[in-house]
Amino acid sequence: MVSVIVPVYNREGYIAQALQSILSQSFSDVEIIVVDDGSTDSTVEAVRSFGEGIRLFRQENRGPGAARNRGIREAKGDFIAFLDSDDLWDSEKLEKQVRILKKRPEVGLVYTDLQEIDQNGLFLQKVACSDRTGPIVTEFLGGHTPRPSATMVRRKLLEEIGGFDEELRYLEEVFLWILLIERTEFACIPEPLTFYRHHPRNMTRNFEQGLHYRGIFLRKLIEHYGGRRDFRRLFRMEMAKFESDSGELLIQKGDVAKGRSALKRAFVLGVGGIRYKRIIRDGYKVVLRAALRLARSYIVCDVNSER
C-alpha cells in the first residue's frame, strides 16, 4: 500500500485539484491522508466534500514538517508519497514509483522530473532529476534537491530517521534528504510526472521568513557534520552567503549598524574561502557582493542624511 500524505494550510483554491490528481492514479492500493495545519479558510470543507475515502486530521499550525510527520504516524502503507496541496501528479506517477521500489531494494527514495506550472496550470519549465548516492551535501545546498511532491519513500527509513525536523518550517525536506541519502540510494524517473505550482502565496516567497529558517538549517548542518574537515569550507561559504543576505535585510529594515556588522562577517568568511580552489569562485562572489552591499549602505545613508 502507498500512503499519500497531503499537508495543507489555507489552500482552498488548490486542494481539490491536488486530491483529484491522487484519485485519478492508475495505482489503486492507496490511502489518502490529509493533515490540515490550522487552516482558517474553507480548506477543511473542500476536503470533506470528497467523502470518507480521505482520512482527515486537524492540528494547530505547526508547519509543513510537523504536518507530514503526523501523516507518517497515521500511515499504514509501506511506501509514503508526499503531495503538497497546491501541486499535481500525472496519473501514472505512483504506479511507476512503486515498480522501482519493488524491483530495487537498495533504493529508499524515488523521485521524478518536475514540470513547473503557474497558478493557472500553464507550463513554465521542466526540471530534471538524476540518480544519487550520498553524501552530496554540496549539490543539495545548491538547490538540486527533490521536491517533496515528486518523492516516494520507504516508510521504515522515515521512521528510523525520525521524520522531518519540526524546528524547520523551510528547508525541512532538504535536511531530511541529506540525512536519508547517508542510508540509502535515490532513484530518478526521468519523466515529468509531478507538477510543481508557482503562485504568489508560496511559502518560499517570504524572504525574511526563509532567511530565518536558513540560519537554523545551517546551524543544524554544522552540528551534524562539524567534525568533518571536508565540509568545513563548504559551510564557511554558506554562512558567508547567509551573513551577507542577513546584513542586507537588516539594513533594509533600518538596523544599519547590525546590518553592516553582518556584511563585514560575510566579507571575512568569503575572503577565507578564496584560499581554497574548490570554492574560490564562490568566495570571490561572496566577497564582491558583501563589499558592494556594505558600500551601498554608506552611500545611501550619506544621501539620506544630506536630505
Q: Give pLDDT tens digits along the chain (307 positions).
A: 999 999 999 999 999 999 999 999 999 999 999 999 999 999 999 999 999 899 999 999 999 999 999 999 999 999 999 999 999 999 999 999 999 999 999 999 999 999 999 888 888 898 888 877 655 565 666 567 899 999 999 999 999 999 999 999 988 999 999 899 989 999 999 999 999 998 776 644 577 888 889 899 988 988 887 667 667 777 778 888 889 999 898 898 888 999 899 899 888 888 876 665 555 566 778 888 888 888 888 886 554 554 4
| pTM of model > 0.95 | no
CATH of domain 226-306: 1.20.58
| CATH 3.90.550.10 residue spans of the chain | 2-201
Helices and strands (DSSP H and E) totals, the chain: 11, 9
CB contact at 8 A, 260 and 299: no
Q: Are 244 and 236 in contact (CB under 8 A)?
A: no
What residues does CATH 1.20.58 cover in the chain?
226-306
Please name which of 302, 100, 119, 86 lies closest in space to residue 190, comparing C-alpha atoms. Answer: 100
Instruction: Report the alpha-carbon distance of residue 4 to residue 174 in Å, rounded.
Output: 19
Helix (H) or strand (E) holding 160: helix 155-161
CATH 3.90.550.10 fits 2-201, yes or no: yes
